[in-house]
Amino acid sequence: MAEPPHEHPASDTPGPTPTPGPAARPLNFIEQIIEQDIAHARWGLTGTTGLGTPRGVHTRFPPEPNGYLHIGHAKSICLNYSLAKKYHGRFNLRFDDTNPSKEEQRYVDGIKADVSWLTEPLGGGFAHGPHAGGLFLASSYFEQMEEFAKELIKKGKAYACQLTADEVAARRGTPAVPATSPYRDRPPEESMRLFREMKAGKHPDGSLTLRARIDLASPNFNLRDPVMYRVLHAHHHSTADKWCIYPMYDWAHGIEDSLEQITHSICTLEFENHRPLYDWFIDAINEGRTPDGSGPWGTTIWHSRQVEFAKLQLTYTVLSKRNLLKMVQTGAVAGWDDPRMPTLCGIRRRGVPPEAIHLLCEDVGVTKFDSVIDIARFENATRTVLNKSAPRAMCVLDPLRVVIDNWPAGRVEDVEFVINPEDPSSGKRTLPFTGELFIEREDFMPEPSKGFHRLAPGAQVRLRWAYFITCTGFETGPDGKVNLVRCTYDPATRGGNAPPGADALTNKKVKGTLHWISAHHTITGHVRLFDRLFNAEAPGERTGNWADDLTPDSIKVCTGCKLDPILADAPVGQAFQFERLGYFTIDPDSRPGALLLNRTITLKESTPEKPKAAVRTYTPAEAAHELKIKQDKLPALIDAAGPAGFAERNPHHLTLDEVRALRQWLKANPPAKG
């Protein structure tokens, strides 16, 4: 495994960027780094060859199996897989299973399924396809890691430390005061003996660690002699009871990447502070090693390059395994795969196709800047994909009976129905039309409001693909609710086509088009409608507890829905667009005769009345942030700049215009220095 001399990123000089090919979009910063690496032939990259000759970019997704994956992880998976695909390489799935006290086999299984689901439309995944790198377990490297650890002990670069966790914390020091350990100058032989005893199970949990001997005074606390191994008598989901010492992330992770010869080790921003440590460990192992194996310690090991990017954050969403787990445990949701959850299994059950996640990731890009993505972008990506792919169906969620008085008794007519107007290859099917139908209750108003152009007494509307009907009256039940609408149909409008108007030149127009279903040709079922799980942009920001921002009724079940008969044979997960209602999918709990559907997302809706202008408002905290001042200086600024009417308003949220005015004022009246 010849590997070129590792160059630290700091030594990089901007090289000529190779022709990027047909660039649909500019390269993101990671692609730029990779193309420079190719230009300099680092890691043996040539960029022009196929797989492994000598090699392309090799990436990996390294989850800890201590929970289910969420949409934040999806960004990392898409990034890693896409880079391997774009640069003729491979993609590994590797479980970073170094802490058995938190990990479970069911999470391993769930994560494998989620990653496969997500990467499948990209042409494969970790297990199959042209870029499959394979499935790996950190725990299968434990023996090798142990050997490396012993090597560092012999080199005087690691030592056994008998400080307890509390003592280590107490001796951690401060930026100005170095940490201390009375054991760091212990002879290597003694450390070796203790390390062997640790492994042999002769020491209780927490009594002993192996620590790297780096720098107790480093301003980077990760370098203050970090723990490499701890004693932990715990059952491991993969290695069972074979080990009672487990490596720490910092020690293990770089070795895992090295053993798999990962070229670019992509991770999130919070690991930036760990990169020097990652590099230190590999360099320490390589001290005394040579590329040809002639050195005293053998052949040099692989040194991957770590690159950090900003993780995905979404408004109205909680994205941390800890909080997600708590939501499940407290019953805030029905489980990890509740369709309201941002987990990949929840999103999948909700009916979102993986392509929507790919589209979102392309949309938001890859940078090092912490940003929060508006959840609406994800919703829009979902609509965009489903609009192109979902067959249409005619379903009525809240049925209202319509009788067509001039329809010949008992007559059934098949009307042609375009399965997906956005996809000509999908073709047509037929739908039975009769004199007794259901329409959506909200599509009829006895006394129509202004701008309502659906059904009302005397009004004419089109029934999609069928006929124009005119309302001649309605009946109400004892409760005063409308329970029947009477209409006549116009035979000249068969197929829903508008007949020539009075002048025989312009077609007669009708404003509204309604969806419908024949009362005698429908199946009933339940449909679940979801609202956002949280009703605050940043759940928990207000009170410190996300539970305070839970939407009270974020799930609504419609019973007795009148569904298109085509749904009877649809498989679980099949997506449909219910005309004018949104996108829906069959839930796994659905049964023949007891259909259950989930609404994935509504259609985009512009309201009939003049939509009220959505004015962006700022909380005091947001305004201060926007103006780059401390929040406590905001009141004084407002007093000084005085946006009209602000003082009378409650709550004291600022409008966009007011924030702009304050910014202008600040520009004209810069704060005094000091």
Partner RNA sequence: AGGGGUAUAGUGUAACGGUAGCACAACUGACUCUGACUCAGUUAGUCUAGGUUCAAAUCCUAGUACCCCUGCCA
| Contact positions with RNA (CB under 7 A) in 651-670 | 656, 660, 667, 670
Residue 270 interacts with RNA (CB under 7 A)? yes
Q: Pick one of 104, 146, 215, 626: the residue that binds RNA (CB under 7 A).
A: 626
| 285/278 Cα distance (integer angstroms) | 11
> Of the two residues 120 and 272, which places its CB atom closer to RNA in the complex?
272
184-243 binders of RNA (CB under 7 A): 205-209, 219-222, 226-227, 230-232
515-574 binders of RNA (CB under 7 A): none
122-161 binders of RNA (CB under 7 A): none
- Burial code (b: 16+ CB inside 10 Å, e: under 16) for 261-289 equals bbbbbbbeeebeebbbbbbbbbebbbeeb
> Of the two residues 172 and 652, which places its CB atom closer to RNA in the complex?
172
Residue 472 interacts with RNA (CB under 7 A)? no
Contact segment (CB under 7 A) with RNA among 41-49, 336-344, 348-356, 461-469 equals 461-469
Residue 102 interacts with RNA (CB under 7 A)? yes
Contact, 340 vs 346, CB < 8 A?
yes
One character per residue 294-333, x = contact with RNA (rule: CB under 7 A): ----------------x-----------------------
| 127/4 Cα distance (integer angstroms) | 29
Q: 394, 392, 406: which is closest to 521 by C-alpha?
A: 394
Q: How many residues bind RNA (CB under 7 A)?
A: 108
Residue 450 interacts with RNA (CB under 7 A)? no
Query: DSSP states of 438-494 as a string?
Result: EEEGGGB-SSPPTT--SB-TT-EEEETTS-EEEEEEEEE-TTS-EEEEEEEEEGGGG
Which residues is 59 bridged to in the sheet? 91
> Of the two residues 29 and 48, which places its CB atom closer to RNA in the complex?
29
| 176/674 Cα distance (integer angstroms) | 25
Residue 510's identity, in one-letter code, is V
Q: Pick one of 189, 190, 422, 475: the residue that binds RNA (CB under 7 A).
A: 422
> Of the two residues 308 and 338, which places its CB atom closer to RNA in the complex?
308
Three-class DSSP category at 495: helix
22-41 binders of RNA (CB under 7 A): 26-29, 32
Residue 91 interacts with RNA (CB under 7 A)? no
Contact, 312 vs 369, CB < 8 A?
no
CB of 500 to RNA, least distance (A): 13
Q: Which helix (H) or strand (E) holds 354?
A: helix 354-364
CB of 2 to RNA, least distance (A): 29
One character per residue 384-403, x = contact with RNA (rule: CB under 7 A): x--x----x-----------
Burial class (CB in 10 A: 0-12, 13-18, 19+), 665: middle
591-610 binders of RNA (CB under 7 A): 603-606, 608, 610
Q: Which helix (H) or strand (E) holds 547?
A: none
CB of 582 to RNA, least distance (A): 9
> Of the two residues 209 and 263, which places its CB atom closer to RNA in the complex?
209
Burial class (CB in 10 A: 0-12, 13-18, 19+), 458: exposed
CB of 391 to RNA, least distance (A): 10
Q: Pick one of 376, 572, 640, 647: the residue that binds RNA (CB under 7 A).
A: 376
Q: Pick one of 120, 147, 189, 374: the residue that binds RNA (CB under 7 A).
A: 374
Which residues is 328 bridged to in the sheet? none
Q: Pick one of 579, 599, 623, 654: the residue that binds RNA (CB under 7 A).
A: 579
| 89/129 Cα distance (integer angstroms) | 11
> Of the two residues 300 and 463, which places its CB atom closer to RNA in the complex?
463
56-75 binders of RNA (CB under 7 A): 62, 64
Three-class DSSP category at 507: strand
Sign of CA dihedral 379, 381, 384, 385: negative
CB of 231 to RNA, least distance (A): 6
> Of the two residues 27 and 523, which places its CB atom closer to RNA in the complex?
27
Q: Which helix (H) or strand (E) holds 653?
A: none
